[in-house]
Structure 1
Amino acid sequence: MRSVADHARIVADLFSPTPIESVAIADALGRAVVDDVRAAVSLPGFDNSAMDGYAVRAAEVAGSSTDTPTRLVVTEDIYAGRTDRLRLDPDTAHRIMTGAPLPDGADAVVAVEATDGGVERVAIAAPVAEGTSIRRAGSDIAAGDTALTAGTVLHASQVGLLAALGVAQVPVHAPFHVVVLSTGSELMAPGVDLEHGQIYESNGAMLCAAVREAGGRATPVHFVPDDVEQFRARLDAMVRGDGPAGRVDLILTSGGVSAGAYEVVKDALSGHGVEFVKVAMQPGMPQGCGTYRADRDTAGSPGVPIVTLPGNPVSAQVSFEIFVRPPLRASMGLPAARVRRRARLTDDMRSPRGKEQFRRGVVTVDPDGAATVQPIGPPSSHHLRFLASANALIDIPADAADVAAGSVVEVILLDP
């Protein structure tokens, strides 16, 4: 059997960086910037007031106190957004609002709370030092400085910084586009009354959600029957670009890859550039991957990468996490790997020697930062409820069999 690490490398080789596109910053959330972003303007762009108060010369109010306030004539009201350039004359004050530009000649702002709030004349009851409550031009970032480095993932604060710098669009990698095929004549859509032997289709919804959660774009193709010719016809249309999906970076299937009869994916793709193997892991042993090339009418086509996952829900999702999610994110310039950490087991575990086991678990971190992990549910690959309750996968090496409670193990954190 192929090792997990070897299969992960083979799958990763199918992925290529997605095209670069320039998008509005509001549409770039969750994507990584391709190049360094340099500030075209300084922040702040001008000296401005950090609070509501009065712009003054600090030396003129140095002797102020409650008993002997300094009284100044108020000659201007400066509001945020005022664009004319003002100058503060000696022995005067300008009433100023937060964010408003500081007048020339002023070197401090007295908070309104330290005054009587006068409009024509103001009594100032406390001294201020030079520079008090002034935001200096460029004190946040100076024009020409690097605002964001290449590879930075855009979250709300990064979008805010770009907007403040006047950046309207930013170059990012296009989303990786995955077409998710659900195969199986037994699969039914939610809301349909099931007959004996039928089940509601879940893998397609789960894998599409996993692709989107990873930052990609997912297009579901539902309920491809267990018919080799129909299945291959769907794939041929994708390779030719005939369908509405547009550019396809990867075809992802689940089910139909085991050793039994009626394995439609395996039957349809064997000999068409896809290799089917057993991987030394639990769950998820039957796997397949390669580049699908359609029949002779598309001779010379580069084909489309394809990854075929096992059909049991837990196997499909765990396989996605281990093999598909990291290179999918890397193709878009995003951090590829989930966070891994060490945690102490709360219960004994058994693992099949020779297979790397990924068990569902719940990690708890105490106030001191020490982590414990509790295995939940059996190792069987159909127990989707326990996967839905887990926040981690417990990674048990292939050379382990009995792992005692209290042992320190490696866990993969699943929090988005």
Structure 2
Amino acid sequence: MACNLEEHRAEIAALLDPVIAALDHETLPVDAADLPGRVTAAGVHALLPIPAFTNSQMDGYAARSAELSSASDEHPIALPLGFTAAAGDRQIELLPGTVSPVMTGAVIPAGADTVIPVEATTEGTFGQLVRPGEGTPTGTATFTTPSEPGRFIRPAGQDLQAGALVADAGARLTPTLIGALAASGVRGVPVRRKLRVLVCTTGNELMGGTSEAGRIPDSNSPMLAAALRGYGAQVDTLRLPDDAQALGLALEAQARQVDLILTVGGISAGAYEVVREALAPRGGSFHHVALQPGGPQGFAQLDGTPALCFPGNPVSALLSLELFLAPALRRQAALPEPVAEQFELAGEVHSPAGKHQVRRALLDEGTVQVLDPGSHLIHDLARADALVHIPVGIEHLAAGTMIDVWRMNV
């Protein structure tokens, strides 16, 4: 059975969306190392207002604005000092006819309605400061200008009221949102559990040392695991030899432990295609998508756990993840879809008419250089900074053509 890119995308979405929707929830401390990048499972409301209390924006003097209304250069007003209010102290009372030295972040004394920065006084600096319980304040501060009510005062709840929504359900937890949650008194955040994914690579060629003829390093496992973790998944890897019976039994056992299985390799039309041999008898579907690279594709369900089956060439495997799995992962992680940008082709490009071709590319000051389409060129994949999609039916694009590109490896 053959299909096009969008048809296979729809098949995979239908397979994955119910699994993602059914992920259970957990509550993590607001300072948990694992919290950034997670997604809220429910709306979170403020327990405290932000600011939590009315406080000073400046180091200065808390005063009654009415008592300074006539201050001028010609008629300076000198007021005796009251007790000092420092950050973390309990609220004090401002006695009529006095001013209280107040530090940034300190509770505004009861009765004060304005703050004058210390540098705006005639003295320009604080004198002897006395906090409650340390003695009797002495000295004065002199003012030559009025100070309007509310000046340099941060009212309680100015940013957020207690009980207000801090984070809606489905919000991605950024460092700044975590800061807002902590500031509003939230200690535990309900989040969606991470999607548990098993990446299973197959092939006897991966099982030996890299210096042996016919043996190669397994680049797919670390590459795909890193990509999945970038989308917020919890990933384990498993490498199995080319034994269809052992593979089928191993995947059945693993299906009970994870939410999604991702197999790599062993699904083409040739001999020794171990994944197809193991999963086709278990109801797996294997077909060709009109796509280059990444034409062979498959999927199955094992004990209700979906298994996506990608081709084994590294470029094909990574692009399969980006084309078919990443959209669901982005929805689950509340990440935006990539945005296309217009660039001018640096050179002509040829593509098979019957396939949707995805090419790696390099961007350079408004132009895009399209790289070789080979599915084994993993270093080209690593140095590319964009993808170019050439739809079915287009065989040739001339140099200078404006095309859409999607940035990658950023």
Same fold (TM over 0.5): yes
**Contact 2:285–2:300 (CA under 8 A) maintained in structure 1:** yes
1:285 match: 295
In 1, the alpha carbon distance for the partners of 2:190 and 2:109 equals 38
Shift of 1:315: 0.5
Identity %: 39
Report how far residue 94 of structure 1 moved: 0.8
Given the superposition, is the C-alpha separation of residues 193 and 397 from structure 1 closer, same or farther in structure 2, using an over 3 Å criterion?
A: closer
Match of 2:319 in 1: 318
Task: Tell me the amino acid that sits aligned with residue 243 of structure 2.
Answer: D
* 1:52 to partner: Cα distance: 1.1
Q: 1:204: Cα distance to partner?
A: 0.4
Aligned twin of 2:100:
94
Q: Residue by residue, what CA displacement relative to the aligned partner does 1:165-189 show, whole Å, maximum 9, x if unpaired?
A: 1111121211111100111111158
Which residue matches 2:64? 57
Contact 1:361–1:373 (8 Å) recurs in 2: no
**Cα deviation digits, residues 132-167 of structure 1 (max 9, x gap):** 110011110112322222221101000000001111
Cα distance in 2 for partners of 1:391, 1:261 equals: 35
3-state secondary structure, aligned to 1:80: coil
Distance 1:111 1:174 in 2: 49
Once the two structures are TM-superposed, the CA of residue 228 in structure 1 deviates from its matched residue by: 1.3
Task: Find the counterpart in structure 2 of residue 180 from structure 1.
Answer: 199
1:399 maps to 393
Q: Report matched runs for 1:287-302 at 5 Å.
A: 287-292=297-302, 302=303
Tell me which of 264, 278, 295 is aligned to 1:268: 278
- Unmatched 5+ residue regions in structure 2? 129-137
Give the whole-Å Cα distance in 2 for the aligned partners of 1:346 and 1:126. 66
SS in 1 for 2:246: helix
- The structural deviation recorded for 1:267 is 1.4
Separation in 2, partners of 1:361, 1:63: 71
Superposed displacement of residue 12, structure 1: 1.3
* Aligned counterpart for 1:152 among listed residues 171, 177, 187: 171
TM-fit CA distance, 1:262: 1.4
- Structure 2 residue matching 1:200: 3-state secondary structure: coil
Instruction: For residue 114 of structure 1, report the CA deviation from its aligned partner.
Output: 1.4
SS at match of 1:35: coil
The Cα RMSD (Å) is: 2.0
2:161 to 121, 136, 142: 142
- CA distance change for structure 1 residues 24 and 138 in 2, over 3 Å: closer, same or farther? same
**Residue matched to 1:9:** 10
Partner AA of 2:174 in structure 1: H
Q: 2:53 corresponds to which letter in structure 1?
A: F
- Over 3 Å counting, the alpha-carbon distance change for 1:346 and 1:69 in structure 2 is farther
User: Match of 2:334?
Assistant: 334
Equivalent in the alignment of 2:262: 252
**In the alignment, which residue of structure 1 is the partner of 2:119?**
113
Q: Does 1:132 align with 2:151?
A: yes
One-letter code aligned to 1:169: G
Which deviates the most, 34-43 or 66-75?
66-75
Partner of 1:298: none
In structure 1, distance between residues paired with 2:164 and 2:409: 34
Letter in 1 for 2:355: K
Moved more, 354-363 or 95-104: 354-363
Query: Following superposition of structure 1 onto structure 2, how do residues 32-51 of structure 1 map, counting pairs within 5 Å?
Result: 32-51=39-58
Q: Distance in 2 between matches of 1:66 and 1:258?
A: 89
Query: Do the aligned partners of 1:226 and 1:264 also contact (CA within 8 Å) in 2?
Result: yes
- State the distance in 2 between where 1:42 and 1:180 align: 45
Residues matched between the structures, number: 390
Conserved 8 A contact 1:338-1:414: no
2:28 is matched with 23
Normalised TM-score (structure 2): 0.89
CA contact (8 A) 2:370 2:388 kept: no
Q: Distance in 2 between matches of 1:235 and 1:315?
A: 22
- Structure 2 partner of 1:219: 236
- Distance (whole Å) between structure 2 residues aligned to residue 340 and residue 103 of structure 1: 55
SS in structure 1 opposite 2:276?
A: helix
1:59 is displaced (CA, Å) by 2.8
SS of equivalent residue, structure 1 residue 271: helix
Q: Specify whether residues 257 and 169 from structure 1 end up closer, same or farther in structure 2 by C-alpha distance, changes over 3 A only.
A: same
What residue is the counterpart of 1:360 in the other structure?
A: 360
In structure 2, how many angstroms separate the alpha carbons of the residues matched to 1:415 and 1:66? Answer: 63
The alpha-carbon deviation at position 203 of structure 1 amounts to: 0.1
SS of match in other structure, 2:191 = strand
Task: Tell me if structure 2 keeps the 8 A contact 1:345–1:374.
Answer: yes
Match of 2:134 in 1: none
- Provide the C-alpha distance between the structure 2 equivalents of 1:93 and 1:171, rounded to a whole number of angstroms: 46
TM-score (norm 1): 0.88
Please report how far the alpha carbon of residue 376 of structure 1 lies from its aligned counterpart in structure 2 after TM superposition: 4.1
